[in-house]
Amino acid sequence: MKAVVQDGYGSVDTLELREVDQPVPAAGEVLVRVHAASVNAYDWHYLRGDPKMARLAFGLRAPKVRIRGRDFAGRVEAVGPEVKGLRPGDEVYGEADGTFAEFVCAKDSETDLKPAGLTFEQAAAIPLAANTALIGLRDLAGLKAGQSLLVNGASGGVGTFAVQIAKAYGAEVTAVCSARNVELVGSLGADQIVDYTREDFARAGRRYDVVLDLVGNRSLRDLRRATAPAGTVVLSGGGVFDGGSVLGPIRLMVRSQLVSPFVRQRLLQLPAKASKENLAALRELTEAGKIAPAVERTYLLSEAAEALRHLEVEHARAKIVVTV
């Protein structure tokens, strides 16, 4: 099968489309013929091995997982032992490492039926980004109707879903983005929009029940200044940075852990763990018309390197999708 392979850390020039062995599903896995996969900041961090501290998990000298891509949408080709509910021919979506390829083996526990009415390209844009937003708002922050939320990085993949999920929960949403993305986040339902090139949300005087930081470019002091005294700060810091750092957003995470015991505000770190249950919840929100993927552009599998370059250089709005 064809796959986009990375043998070492570096720029998008390290990516190569080549023939590799087709995977075989193990117990609890399904073999999926990939129709589409989306690009995430996750892929950029893996590509660059940045921040360098993350290489302890990614692989010290080269990535342990050589095929890039994390989201997918496609059809089940075969199922391994102990798979329940999914059958060959089912249209599915989910998360797995190595989705910039014609086939991928995915865990049954991280795969679910594709939302009805969506194309494969639309469905592939959902899993990692929307799941991250769902966990941050529903599970960590416990966002409720009537509460106020500020999303720093509202025009990115996670941010566009965070705005929609928060509105589905009945929250009042303030979205922080650049001027070119004002129309996009407004169309997603944001109540107020802050153009960060003209206004600093941390010094505007307003405080929010929940601040969801998806960029990692502000100090913890700034984020806390925009949060109500008993409010919640949720830190992700999963964006694309200049690169070359040792700790990157990890520095902000560590600082929040040190400060947290001494302040009333809840300072929480966002772990994004895929699950069939969350994919089912996102499918229900999608089929109910509460959330919809915003796709900026699609690329062919042979153009996956250009798709990642777009993410890194152009600071893509919403989602970029690779079609297979």
pLDDT for residue 272: 77
Domain identity same for 315 and 264: no
Whether 199 has a pLDDT exceeding 60, the answer reads yes
> Are 226 and 239 found together in one domain?
yes
- For the chain, the domain total comes to 2
pLDDT value for 26: 97
Provide mean pLDDT across the span 35-46. 92
Mean residue pLDDT of the chain comes to 93
Look up the domain containing 115 and give its range. Answer: 2-126+293-323
Q: Is residue 216 part of a domain?
A: yes
Domain of 215: which CATH number?
3.40.50.720
Q: What is the 3-state secondary structure (H, E, C) of the chain?
A: CEEEEECCCCCHHHEEEEECCCCCCCCCEEEEEEEEEEECHHHHHHHHCCCHHHHHHHCCCCCCCCECCCEEEEEEEEECCCCCCCCCCCEEEEECCCCCECEEEEEHHHEEECCCCCCHHHHHCCHHHHHHHHHHHHHHCCCCCCCEEEEECCCCHHHHHHHHHHHHCCCEEEEEECHHHHHHHHHCCCCEEEECCCCCHHHCCCCEEEEEECCCCCCHHHHHHCEEEEEEEEECCCCCCCCCCCCCCHHHHHHHHHHHHHCCCEEEECCCCCCHHHHHHHHHHHHCCCCCCCEEEEEEHHHHHHHHHHHHHCCCCCEEEEEC
Asked if residue 155 and residue 98 are part of one domain, the reply reads no
How does residue 249 score in pLDDT terms, banded at 50, 70 and 90? low
Same domain flag for 142 and 164: yes
pLDDT in tens, 131-149: 999 999 999 999 999 999 9
Q: Which of 72-81, 137-146, 307-316 has the lowest mean pLDDT?
A: 307-316
The answer to whether position 286 is within a domain reads: no
Q: What is the pTM of this model?
A: 0.93
Q: According to the model, what pLDDT value does residue 317 have?
A: 79
Residue 200 included in any domain? yes
Question: Same domain for 134 and 265?
Answer: yes
What CATH number did the domain enclosing 62 receive? Answer: 3.90.180.10
Q: What percent of the chain has pLDDT over 90?
A: 79
Reply yes or no on whether the pLDDT at 4 is more than 80: yes
Q: Are residues 122 and 186 in the same domain?
A: no
